Amino acid sequence: MTLYEDEWMFWDDIAGRYILKHASNDPNTANIIDAAAYYADSMVVARRKRKRVKLPVPGTAVDTSNAPTAL
């Protein structure tokens, strides 16, 4: 999977937390690392699908031209 530059920290955080949570003296280290990568990839894809909305900054003018009108 190709990651954008701004997604590296997010991916690293997800994968690192997964590994720390599931790490042990188990000989299945490769399986844990593969699962962490798969989980982090899934989280990045889910994050990309989400819509981002900018909240208005208090004290600035708000454009109400597209706002619904009251009946």
Query: Alpha carbon of 53 to those of 6, 32, 50, 56, 68: distances in Å?
Result: 18, 35, 10, 9, 17
Amino acid at 54: K
- Look at the pTM and tell me if it is higher than 0.75: no
Distance CA 35, CA 18 (A): 8
Closest to 14 in 3D by CA, of 40, 51, 47: 40
Q: How confident is the model at residue 69 (pLDDT cuts 50, 70, 90)?
A: low
Residue 59 Rama label (left phi>0; alpha psi -120 to 50; beta): left
pLDDT number for residue 62: 57
pLDDT value, residue 45: 92
Kindly report, residue by residue over 15-64, the tens digit of the pLDDT.
999 888 888 777 788 888 899 999 999 999 999 898 878 887 777 665 55
